[in-house]
Copies of this chain bind each other. A is one copy, B any other.
Amino acid sequence: MKTQIKGHSLVSGLTIQESDTTFHAINPANDQALKPEYHQLNAASVEAIATHAQAAFSDYNQRSGAERAAFLRQIADNIHAAVEDLVEYMPAETALPEPRVRGETERTTGQLRLFANLIEEGSWVDARIETAQPDRKPLPKPDVRSVLQPLGPVIVFCASNFPLAFSVAGGDTAAALASGCPVIVKAHHSHPGTAEIVGQAVMAAVESCQMPDGTFSLVYGPGQEIGTALVKHPAIKVVGFTGSRAGGTALMKAAFERDEPIPVYAEMSSINPVVILPEALEQNGETIATDLHKSVTLGLGQFCTNPGLVLLPAGKAANRFATQLKDALANTADGHSLNAGIAEAYRSTVNQLASLQDSGVTVHHANPGDGNNHKCQVGTALFEVNAPTFLNLNALHQEAFGPSTTLITYQNQDELIQVVSAFEGQLTGTIHATGQDLQNTPNIVATLQERVGRILFGGFPTGVEVCHAMVHGGPYPSTSDGRSTSVGTMAIHRFVRAVCYQCAPDAVLPDALKNTNPLNLSRLINGQRTRDPI
């Protein structure tokens, strides 16, 4: 390994205190402890680190889009240069295979470069200018201009299931740094070494790009102590989180109870319903089942977009579909969850559903794994219920985070719409339909769309394209705030607010609002979009 892993929080330009407690990662494949020991931050250092980020803010938010773009690209370059270290180290911490490590590294650096392009071009700041009309009656119109400005220091919590793309330099960090906000990352206890490899890559970029100390920090410690203390610190202005519903709602509460409540973007849980309409099932049932199997088992089902519910019309085609899917799942090798907590939660959910046969749950297949000898080993599961059973049983509305899915058969359109209307907010909803199906079921699109952030026609929700149009978010409880996305360039709006300047001299205006348009932005001037100067 080129990277020297040291086992400490990364905070530059500041002496921090650590507690005597240490922890280490566990290899999910063999339950063995991994080196090095990781030192936990002392809660007394939270104040210093938060203030450090606040001090960096007033400098960092003044850097131009071009400077910040160069910084993001340097981070991407440094992570790319560390890929062999990640390939060497990350599989032991996560049980994720080498191709996944390489793929997720590419996605992570791709995200950083996409945000670099966005801020280098610069028009995302939504510059708006209304010029003065001194002679307007009855009152003169003042010169009024607005532009998006960063909110301040952000705390980002690493996700267990995306050790790169939703962690130290993942989507939230990339978007926050792009917007002009310093970032403090709270590492996940499952993959501290992976976090440190990426954290050192970011730190090196902070230094070589001469960004202020405190632009980025990476801290290790228990979430309930260190994480919550950071969320509550007055200098912190935004929270980004991907994880469990319990974890997300606890952070929402902590943020709401502050003297100054702050926005929390928590991605929490989603069961991602897949609706198969009759003609699509008849015509393509076999292909859909084959692809569904791949999607359910991808990454051992440990994706927020894992399809956990599949609605299909009751009948012979549904029976064939269930049999085919059951055979495929039963023939799928066991895998190792990312950590023992995830495996235990999965096992508990699968066992709970398997115990509900008397309540109308058909257990096609259930292999929760043997938690005694192999803590992280889990297998697949497939359940089936009819619509009334789904509507009655609360347990079926919960996420099973792993390679399990549940079929729901419906008798008719009314039952289908009833089931879809009973869904809580979801990240995604998928419809498999022919053109005729969509004509026959006019309400399905509108009903599903009200409950999801992304609606797919064909295909499966695993695989989230990083682009300008992606929405990886959705109504509560899939996320804490359905007005936002954690993937794609629209994520930058999490970290900003519009600030308005009235009758400001050109010299004090942000460059984005100056008369000459020195940044050559697309701006809204008196309601017309243009790159012209004033």
Interface residues of A (CB under 8 A from B): 58, 62, 103, 123, 128-130, 138-139, 141-142, 144-146, 149, 151-152, 252, 256, 260-261, 263, 424-425, 435, 438, 445-446, 449-450, 452-459, 463, 465, 467-471, 473, 475-477, 480-485, 490, 496-505, 507-508, 522, 524, 526-527, 529
A502 and B456 contacting across the interface, CB-CB below 8 Å: yes
Q: Which residues of B contact A145 (CB under 8 A)?
A: 469
The answer to whether B498 and A146 have CB atoms under 8 Å apart is: no
CB-defined contacts of A103 to chain B, threshold 8 Å: 138
Contacts of A483 in B (CB 8 A): 151, 263, 496-498
B455 to A499, Cβ gap below 8 A?
Answer: yes
Give min CB distance, A74 to chain B, whole Å.
Answer: 22
Closest B residue, CB atoms, query A148: B483
A480 to B262, CA, bound (A): 9
Q: Which of chain B's residues has its CB closest to A447's CB?
A: B58
A443 to B302, CA, bound (A): 48
Bound CA span A263–B482, Å: 10
* Measured CA separation A215–B69 after assembly (Å): 46
Indicate if the CB atoms of B507 and A465 lie closer than 8 Å: no
Cβ-defined contact, B144 with A480, below 8 A: no
Q: Determine the distance from Cα of A452 to Cα of B263 in the docked complex, in whole angstroms.
A: 17
Q: Kindly list chain B residues whose C-beta atoms are within 8 Å of the C-beta of A457.
A: 501-505, 508
The reply to whether B499 and A260 form a contact with Cβ atoms under 8 Å apart is no
Distance in angstroms between the alpha carbons of A446 and B480 in the assembled complex? 31
**A468 in contact with B507 (CB, 8 Å):** no
Taken together as a complex, chains A and B put the C-alpha atoms of A138 and B452 apart, in Å, by: 28
Docked CA distance A145–B138 (Å): 44
Can you list 23 A-B pairs, Cβ within 8 angstroms, ordered by A? A128-B469, A129-B469, A130-B468, A141-B465, A144-B469, A146-B469, A146-B490, A151-B482, A260-B475, A438-B507, A438-B508, A453-B497, A455-B499, A455-B500, A455-B504, A457-B501, A457-B502, A457-B503, A459-B502, A465-B502, A471-B500, A475-B497, A484-B497
Known: A261-B480, A425-B260, A465-B141. A503 touches B458 (CB 8 A): yes
Q: How far is the CB of A519 from chain B (nearest CB, A)?
A: 16
The chain B residue with its CB closest to the CB of A427 is B500
Chain B residues in 8 Å Cβ range of A497: 453, 473, 475, 482-484
User: How far, in angstroms, from A146 to B465 measured CA to CA in the complex?
Assistant: 13
Knowing A459-B503, A498-B485, A501-B457, the reply to whether A144 touches B465 (Cβ < 8 A) is yes
A498 CB to nearest B CB, Å? 5
Residue of B nearest to A497 (CB): B483
Please judge, given known A-B contacts A455-B499, A471-B499, A477-B260, whether A529 and B524 are in contact too, CB under 8 Å: no
Of A471, A481, A529, most buried by chain B (CB within 10 Å of CB) is A471
Q: Are A507 and B435 touching (Cβ within 8 A)? A: yes
* Chain B residues, Cβ within 8 Å of A476: 260-261
In Å, the complex CA distance between A499 and B325 comes to 31
Nearest residue, chain B, Cβ from A142: B465
- Judge whether B503 and A456 touch: CB under 8 Å: yes
Q: How far is the CA of A74 from the CA of B475 in the complex (A)?
A: 33
How far apart are A99's CB and chain B's nearest CB, in angstroms? 10
Chain B residue nearest to A138 (CB atoms) is B103
